[in-house]
Structures are given as C-alpha cells and as structure tokens.
Structure 1
Amino acid sequence: MVQFGIDRLLLYASDWKAKRIGFVTNNAAITATFEPARKALIKKGFNIVRLFSPEHGLDTTGPDGHLMGDVTDTLTGLPVVSLYGEKLAPEKKDFEDLDVILIDLPDIGSRFYTYLWTLTHVLEAGALYGKELIVLDRPNPISGNLLLAEGPVLDEVNASSFIGRWAIPVRHSCTIGELAQYFNIERKIGCALQVITCTGWRRSMFHPDWSVSFIPASPAINTFETALLYPCLCFLEATNISEGRGTAVPFRVAGAPWINAGELADLLNDNIGKAVVAREVDFVPEGGRYAGISCKGVMLHVTDRYHFSAVKTGLLLIKLIMDTYKESFEWAPYKTFVNGKGENHLRLLLGQEDAEDFFRLSLEDFKERLEGYVSVENWREMVGPYLMYED
C-alpha cells in the first residue's frame, strides 16, 4: 500500500503541530482515503492559520493561466493567499507571523506544470524570511523511471519563465520532494527543509498501480491518461491546433477544422512507434481554440506506458501536421496571466531558444535528430544524490 507524505504526518506526534502553520496546498492534495489534506490536519490538531494556493486556486477549478485572487476557504474558513495573482512568491507579511510552512502540492511530472515553480518561490521565501519548510511528498503519477525522462533540458538564459524557471527536463521523473531537495542544495537556496517521504512507492510505478481513482489536479488534468499525455500534447498550445481544451478529453486529442483525420491517423501510426496508437476523431470544443467548431484529428491511446516517449511523440506529431498541412499550420501565441501577450510560447514550453528552427529541418533530418534532441543522459547523475525511492 502506498502512503503519501500527508498520511505519514498524520501518524506522527509532531512537536510543532501547535505552532502557527502556513499551508501551501489545494483540493487535489488528499489523503490515501480521499480526505482533503488541510481538513485531515486540522482534525488532528495541527494549528493551520493561513493557506496558500497555486495556479487554478485552492479549489483547482480556475481556468488555465487566469489570475486568481485571495479568498476565504469554504471548507475551513481560513484565509487563502493566492500565489498566482498579484504575486507569485510569498511576501514577508505573509510569513512573518508563521513558524512552519507546510507544502502539499500534487505535481504531475512535467516541467511546464506550474505547481513545481510555486514550490521554488516558497523555498526562496522560506530561506529569505528564516522559516522552516516541510514538504509532504507524493508519488509522480507518470512514474519515477529515469529512463523515461525526456528533454530538452531548459536553457535558463534564453527560455526561463513560470512554466519552466530552472534547468530540468520536460519530463523529469522525480517527485516534488526530490526536486525540492535538489533545488535547495544545487541552487544554494539554503532553506531549512524537511521532506516527509511516501512509503510503498517504487519508481517504476504509475498512478494506476496504487489507486483506481485519479483526483483532477486542475481543470484540464482530469484523468491519469491526460497526465500521461500532457508532456506530449501540451506543445500544441503554441500552434493553431486544438489540444482538446473545452472537451471531455483535454490533452488526449489533437485536431483542427482543416485536418483530414484519417490521413493524420495513418501518418502517425506509421511514424510514432508501438507504444501509442492514433485513432481518427471529430470533436467540437466548447471553449478554447475553435470553440463551437468541428475539429478533425486524432485521439492518442497509450498501449504501453512503460515504453511511451511522450515528448518525442508530441514533437513528431507537430512536425507531421506542419509538413502535411503547410498552407494551414501556424505557430500561435498563448496568453496567460504570466505571459500577457502569449509570445514565444513554443520556446518557453521546449525551453530552447531555437525551438522553431528545429521544426524547419526536413522530416528525415528531424526524425534523425529527434532522439538526441530529447535525450537527457546525464539527468540521473545530476539528480541522483537527491532520489529518495528505489526503482
């Protein structure tokens, strides 16, 4: 049985539970029995006095990239300071009356998912204001298998943003607790940090190996399959192709009014390997790109998650669409609260200054170079000292 960091903490007779605690969390942070983490802690006598929420807000329902304001938690009555609103990092006034900062955020294993970067701002604030931080760890739902990690590793000089601040791969294969320790030491943050680990989890495990029920981490990450395909199809945000937002299957479909679904499905199945199958579909998004318009395209079905190369598949999908529909394909801006004009979105997602240049290669050269482009051979060596779980 897998126990999360929150489950283990609830078993402790913690000597700091009566201190004034700030809790960085949201509704997707639950116990193994599906109780909201903040409610379970308060029932056990933990003196939580203030909550902090990441993108999508405490209730995880805020639209992608939309500013979230401070609110009052309807479950506990506690004040909630938004860390995706007027500020991305806690200020001195937010921390000065607190003794301990507790963090429980459900990362989904992809660099451009912003909960991880909220964690880094909290780490820096903890060091700056002299507060102890305790991270309640959670398993990586798309596994901790370092052989499945995929880049490119982010170029901090030319492509740092809130969807990728620091140099890690797109699919990092770590837990949020492992990355907290990695960043704290390697970036010399110097925060007083403790990680309460999970038990029963091995790096080879995926979410279905420990739970039959997936808690939506945000509006568009509503199933395990979506989380698995997120580092594959999120790159479509930088194009004029729908990634399925506004449908029941976000990040599981790709389409546009000008695509021939059968043709694209055949193209993909001839090129993307045996771990995933493309099925032709027709869908009408209720919101987002092409809202109310029939889109033709494909739905991806991962048939072997233990060998599925998400990033490689996603980049090849874009290249095949780009070359097949030259007159219709376009790169597109993607506006969010942290990127008001939506500019350079592909560069920020890929973390590479030359992102569009890579797609200008011939298909033959693109396929030949793709393996090396996403390779992260030294990542395990870099993060190795901070790994806390067995393979």
Structure 2
Amino acid sequence: MPRLRTVTLLATLVAAPLHSQPVRKDAASDGVVPGIEVLLRDSLHLVRGKRVGLVTNHSGRDRSGTSTIDRLAHTPGVTLTALFALEHGIRGAIEAGGNVSSTRDSATGVPIYSLYGASHVPTAEMLRDVDVILYDIQDVGARVYTYQWGMAIAADSADKPFIVLDRPDPVRADLVQGGVLDPKFRSYVGAYPVALRYGLTPGELLRYLNGTGQIHADVKVVPMAGYRRAMWYDDTKLAWVNPSPNLRDLDATIVYTGTVFFEGTNVSEGRGTDQPFRLVGASWLTDAGAIAAELNAMRIPGVRFDSVSRTMEPGFKFPGQTIPMLHVSVTDRDRVNAPEVGLRMLRAIYARHKPDFQWRPSIDRLAGGTRVREAVENDTVDALLAAWAAESRRFQDETRRYWIYK
C-alpha cells in the first residue's frame, strides 16, 4: 500500500538524525547542514535520472549562499524542469498578499509556475514534465504563514513523489505555544488544525499531516545534519535570510505569533516601518507611554515595552502619518510566549480605546477561531491562555511520533 511504503522509506532516511550523536564532523564544525546539501551528498539517488520540479524561493540555498535552483541545475544526472513559486514570489520580494505571476527563470530558462495566483494547486499542465517534486523553503514555525500550507497543498494534490529538503524551525522546535486552529476557520494562513507556534520543521510537519491522514501523499524527508530541537536559528550557524519581506530578524520572528494578531485590527502591526511586528501603533494611541508602563508592570516573561513614534510608509496603515507606537524588545528569548504577548497588548489597547479600536474581518482567520476576539472584549485573557497551554501540550504529544530530531 502506498502509505506503508512511504513510512518505510522515511524511516530509512531519518534514522541517523533521530538516533545518532555525534553528527558528522562537517556538521559539528560548520553548524547545521541543510537538506539540499545532504541530498546532493548522500541521497542523490532520489532524483538521479528524474525530471525534477522544485518549490522554492530566495531562502532555498546552501551554506555558501548558492541557491537550490543553481545547485540542482548544475548537478549531473538531475534535470530541473519546473519551478513553483509561493507567496512573495521566487525571489521573496513581493509584499504580503501580492499576486505572483508565472514566468521563466532568466538564469536557467526553467519555467516558474505560480502557486499563489489564480490557483494554489499545481495543475496537470504544470506537472506534465515532472517526475518528482522537491520543496526547499525556510519558514518561521508559525501557523499564520503560508509557505508550509503551500507545501502541504502541493504534496496532497500533485500525485507525485514529494521530497522535503528540511530546514530549521527558527524559533526552537521544542517550544509549542498558542491554541490549535478551529477547523471551521481553515484558510491559506491556517490550513490545518495545528498550534499557533507548532514546534516542527517543514519535514516534520508534513510527516505529521501525512501520518495522521490529513493529507495523502508519497512523502520523503531529506533531513538536516547537526540539527537539534532546542536550537534557535542563530545556533545553526546558517546565514539569516529574511524569510518574507517583513520578518527581518530573529526577534521579530519570535514575537510574530503574537503581534500578527494586529493585522486583524485597525492598529498597525508595524508594516511600513523599520521594525515590522516589533512595532504596534495607531494615530489615536496617544497614551502609548502609559500602555507600555502598564504592560511592563505585568512582568510578561522575556519582553519589555517602550513608547516610540514612526512615520508610516505609503501603502500601509496610517500612510504618511507620524504615529505613536509600542515597541516590543526581547529581553530573554527562552521565556517569551508570543501569543501571550499579543493577547496582553490587544487587551491593554482595547480597554483604553474602545471607541477607536476596530476589528477587521480577518481577525478570526488569523487567530484560528473567535476566541481571541472574545477574550479581548470580555477580559478573559487569562482563561484563554490557560486553555491554549493545555492545547499546546496535547498537540506536542500528538506530533512526537513524527519528530525527526532530538
């Protein structure tokens, strides 16, 4: 049966990272070795002699900075026949939600098919010259993101062998936080019921979805060498590449699973400033200093708040205006619970500014249900955080059998 065959092949591929320490000498001395390098070094038989489609963007690269596109295009025995682009495009430069067009790669001549335009599903025409699909994109370990759902949808719908070239969870894979999505609120920023900060690498996530029958695909994972679940991204020694235009450093990525809620309000989440997702503000937030003091008095673990101002760029909330903002600083990243940070900020602003504050229709989609909105309005944040903590523990336990790394 296809599912049994897939599990057997996966066990063969991932056995070394699961059970063997120390890792290879090159991994120990040079940091984590990403899946693309492991593929070309140890597992080239998976693609040799085959026509390869590649789902990737600017973050798919080896440790030297050479793109996965170029590595595959110049590997003897590998025929790269199609590229697939998700949100932000193949170069990662298109703003959130912007249309991604199909085109052709100027360097290799390989066609680039958009999976973030008219369709999120690869068509038969796109797959006509493809025998196997590879996936190599750096995500951020957050449910409210689109790359991993593009991966899952492509694997589920393509009816082709699907191989994940694994990459780190930048915010530690041993930490799971936030509630699990209510399936009634599934969308492209939350396609499956996982925790908000789900604690899995791309390969592990796809193993979980496939193993639990939420997708049906012939999935293999080429694991990283030298990766451990407790690593932050900067522990891996891999160069930081902005995974999307508005996540520009690790601290922003850490707090993202809390401050992203502000996308579903009339408060700026910091897009259009120099520090998206670390700055939150509005033209009417004239008491930002008092709110920062109130939040600091709560002693929320791992963060500190300050009041600042910024002039907003055109094309974003409050364009051209200089507005008061709250700045979130990470003081102890090992203690940060970003969903709590976001909820506490929302409640503090809402309580002081009920006439000014507005929800946008997207809030329930971003939050994965109605509970964030209801907790903020009804002052039941503590109860929601307790419920989320229990859900996170259960989700982590459910995923444990699909982990690749210790």
TM-score when normalising by structure 2: 0.88
User: Match for 1:84 among 116, 122, 138?
Assistant: 116
Match of 2:144 in 1: 112
Match of 1:335 in 2: none
Report 1:109-258 matches (<5 A): 109-126=141-158, 129=159, 131-145=160-174, 148-156=175-183, 158-187=184-213, 189-211=215-237, 213-258=239-284
Following the alignment from structure 2 to structure 1, what is the Cα–Cα distance between the partners of residues 192 and 43?
36
User: Match for 2:104 among 50, 72, 92?
Assistant: 72
The runs of 4+ residues in structure 1 deviating greater than 6 Å are: none
Classify the secondary structure of the residue corresponding to 2:126: helix
Following the alignment from structure 2 to structure 1, what is the Cα–Cα distance between the partners of residues 141 and 351?
30
Classify the secondary structure of the residue corresponding to 2:258: helix
- Against the structure 1 CA distance between its residues 212 and 179, is the aligned structure 2 distance closer, same or farther, given a 3 Å change threshold? closer
CA deviations on 1:291-314 (whole Å, 9 max, x unpaired) are: 111121211111111110001110
Classify the secondary structure of the residue corresponding to 2:190: coil
- Structure 1 residue 389 and structure 2 residue 405: aligned? yes
CA deviations on 1:170-220 (whole Å, 9 max, x unpaired) are: 100110100111111212533221100011111111011123741011111
1:174 aligned partner, one-letter code: L
TM-score when normalising by structure 1: 0.91
User: Match for 1:4 among 16, 20, 34?
Assistant: 34
Task: Report which of the two has the higher share of helix.
Answer: 2
Alignment coverage as a number of residue pairs = 371
Match of 2:368 in 1: 351
Alpha-carbon distance, 1:85 to partner: 0.5
Match of 1:26 in 2: 57
Report 1:209-358 matches (<5 A): 209-211=235-237, 213-259=239-285, 260-287=287-314, 288-332=316-360, 343=361, 345-358=362-375
- Structure 1 residue 42 and structure 2 residue 42: aligned? no
Following the alignment from structure 1 to structure 2, what is the Cα–Cα distance between the partners of residues 112 and 274?
22
Alpha-carbon distance, 1:239 to partner: 0.8
Classify the secondary structure of the residue corresponding to 1:182: helix
1:367 aligned partner, one-letter code: D
Classify the secondary structure of the residue corresponding to 1:41: helix
Classify the secondary structure of the residue corresponding to 2:334: coil
2:404 aligned partner, one-letter code: M
Following the alignment from structure 1 to structure 2, what is the Cα–Cα distance between the partners of residues 326 and 167?
31
Match of 1:340 in 2: none
Alpha-carbon distance, 1:276 to partner: 0.5
Following the alignment from structure 1 to structure 2, what is the Cα–Cα distance between the partners of residues 48 and 369?
48
Alpha-carbon distance, 1:264 to partner: 1.6
Alpha-carbon distance, 1:57 to partner: 0.5
1:361 aligned partner, one-letter code: N
Classify the secondary structure of the residue corresponding to 1:295: strand
Match of 2:381 in 1: 366
Alpha-carbon distance, 1:355 to partner: 3.8
Alpha-carbon distance, 1:233 to partner: 0.7
Following the alignment from structure 2 to structure 1, what is the Cα–Cα distance between the partners of residues 371 and 243?
31
Following the alignment from structure 2 to structure 1, what is the Cα–Cα distance between the partners of residues 240 and 180?
28
Following the alignment from structure 1 to structure 2, what is the Cα–Cα distance between the partners of residues 76 and 317?
47
Following the alignment from structure 2 to structure 1, what is the Cα–Cα distance between the partners of residues 321 and 100?
29
Q: Which segments of 5 or more consecutive residues in structure 1 lack a partner in the other structure?
A: 333-342
Identity %: 30
Following the alignment from structure 1 to structure 2, what is the Cα–Cα distance between the partners of residues 369 and 117?
26
Following the alignment from structure 1 to structure 2, what is the Cα–Cα distance between the partners of residues 83 and 231?
24
Alpha-carbon distance, 1:354 to partner: 4.2
Classify the secondary structure of the residue corresponding to 1:289: coil
Query: In the alignment, is the contact (CA less than 8 A) between 2:304 and 2:330 conserved in 1?
Result: yes
Query: In the alignment, is the contact (CA less than 8 A) between 2:302 and 2:330 conserved in 1?
Result: yes
Alpha-carbon distance, 1:358 to partner: 2.0
Alpha-carbon distance, 1:369 to partner: 4.0
Following the alignment from structure 1 to structure 2, what is the Cα–Cα distance between the partners of residues 87 and 160?
17
Following the alignment from structure 1 to structure 2, what is the Cα–Cα distance between the partners of residues 54 and 123?
13
Which shifted more, 89-98 or 168-177? 89-98
Query: In the alignment, is the contact (CA less than 8 A) between 1:103 and 1:136 conserved in 2?
Result: yes
Alpha-carbon distance, 1:96 to partner: 2.9
Following the alignment from structure 2 to structure 1, what is the Cα–Cα distance between the partners of residues 83 and 264?
33
1:132 aligned partner, one-letter code: P
Question: Cα RMSD (Å) of the superposition?
Answer: 1.5
CA deviations on 1:34-82 (whole Å, 9 max, x unpaired) are: 1111111222232111100110110101110112110112332211000
